[in-house]
């Protein structure tokens, strides 16, 4: 079964059974990688929980054929992810908490810019993955809305609509990599999302110092030149717009006291 989500500016289709993607004639992308429940158990509140065996599908480096050289030159990559419906024990379907590995070409842990295509999402992020997580945010977003995770922050993407699949795209560094060790050492991120009568409540992870979680809605990020247009279309219109993703050092002043 195929479903067409938000008009993302790319000729591609999201599939549910099995999870994955197909691409139109001018778009190329890899076969989706499937993340199974067994692969992500170490990041869950209850690592022995039940849930869909195939939790989400991810395809990194999806692009129009004519954009490939420009993307490589700018060290940018566009990734697409789709989640199964349902839940993981008493948690919603979600990704593993992680930090982005430092890229050799920039010397920074890269940021990531999300765009929700279908369903509702919570982009959870925390300033550090040490015992004191610093500032913690849960950004609640729907189709067409964008969320920016700054360099070096721990984060995870959570489905906020358990009865509806979640699909999103994201601009990433081409040298992307995920670091899980610090999060797994703390048995997850600093706050666990729990489903209670189809509403999400938050439980503090006792392996971190006590703190406060701020639940917010997305903003425009005008300081980075981001508009309401689909993210991929913004790249087509202005290939330099997202250079801050692969070269966050060039926007160092804008990351100071960043607020999601």
pLDDT for 180:
92
The β-bridge partners of 79 are 60, 170
Per-domain residue ranges for the chain? 2-255
Quote the pLDDT of residue 17.
86
Percent of the chain with pLDDT over 70: 98
Instruction: Give pLDDT tens digits along the chain (260 positions).
Output: 344 457 888 999 999 889 999 999 899 999 999 999 999 898 888 999 999 999 999 999 999 999 999 999 999 999 999 999 999 999 999 988 999 999 999 999 999 999 999 999 999 999 999 999 999 999 999 999 999 999 999 999 999 988 888 999 999 999 999 999 999 999 999 999 999 888 899 999 999 999 999 999 999 999 999 999 999 999 999 999 999 999 999 999 999 989 99
Class of domain 2-255 (CATH, top level): mainly beta
Contacts of 222 (CB under 8 A, 6+ apart): none
Measuring CA to CA, which residue among 51, 43, 75, 47 is closest to residue 61?
A: 75
User: Nearest 5°: phi and psi at 63?
Assistant: -160, 160
65 touches 86 (CB < 8 A): no
**DSSP assignment, residue 177?**
-
State whether residue 173 is helix, strand or coil. Answer: strand
DSSP 47-89: TT----SEEEEEEE--EEGGGHHHHHHTTEEEEEEEE-SSEET
pTM beyond 0.85, yes or no: yes
Give φ, ψ of 252 to 5 degrees: -55, -40
Report the length, in residues, of the chain.
Answer: 260
Cα-Cα-Cα-Cα dihedral sign, residues 257, 167, 188, 86? positive
Per-residue model confidence (pLDDT) at position 2: 45
Task: Give the pLDDT confidence of 19-72 residue by residue, as tens digits.
Answer: 999 999 899 999 999 999 999 898 888 999 999 999 999 999 999 999 999 999
Which pLDDT value is given to residue 197? Answer: 84
Q: Report pLDDT for 42.
A: 84
245: DSSP letter:
H
pLDDT the model gives residue 105: 96
pLDDT for res 5: 57
Query: Which letter does DSSP use for residue 257 in this model?
Result: T
Distances (CA, A) of 71 to 64, 113, 230, 260: 10, 15, 17, 26
Query: Angle CA(224)–CA(161)–CA(35) in degrees, nearest 5?
Result: 80
DSSP class of residue 162 equals: T
Structure-token pair, residue 109: 């842990």
């Amino acid at each position: 079964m195929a479903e067409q989500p938000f008009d993302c500016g790319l000729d591609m289709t999201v599939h549910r059974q099995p999870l994955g993607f197909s691409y139109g004639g001018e778009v190329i992308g890899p076969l989706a990688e499937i993340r199974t429940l067994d692969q992500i158990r170490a990041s869950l509140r209850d690592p022995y929980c039940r849930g869909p065996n195939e939790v989400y599908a991810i395809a990194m480096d999806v692009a129009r054929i004519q954009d490939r050289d420009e993307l490589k030159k700018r060290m940018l990559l566009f990734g697409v992810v789709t989640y199964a419906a349902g839940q993981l024990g008493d948690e919603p379907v979600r990704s593993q908490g992680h930090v982005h590995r430092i890229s050799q070409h920039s010397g920074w842990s890269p940021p990531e810019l999300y765009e929700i295509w279908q369903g509702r999402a919570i982009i959870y992020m925390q300033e550090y993955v040490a015992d004191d997580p610093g500032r913690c945010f849960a950004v609640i977003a729907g189709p067409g809305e964008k969320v920016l995770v700054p360099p070096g922050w721990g984060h995870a993407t959570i489905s906020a609509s358990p009865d509806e699949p979640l699909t999103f795209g994201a601009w990433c560094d081409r040298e992307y990599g995920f670091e899980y060790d610090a999060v797994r050492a703390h048995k997850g991120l600093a706050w666990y999302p729990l489903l209670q009568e189809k509403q999400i409540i938050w439980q503090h992870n006792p392996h971190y110092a006590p703190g406060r979680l701020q639940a917010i809605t997305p903003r425009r990020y005008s300081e980075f030149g981001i508009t309401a247009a689909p993210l991929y279309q913004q790249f087509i219109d202005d290939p330099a717009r997202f250079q801050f993703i692969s070269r966050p050092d060039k926007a160092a002043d804008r990351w100071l006291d960043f607020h999601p």
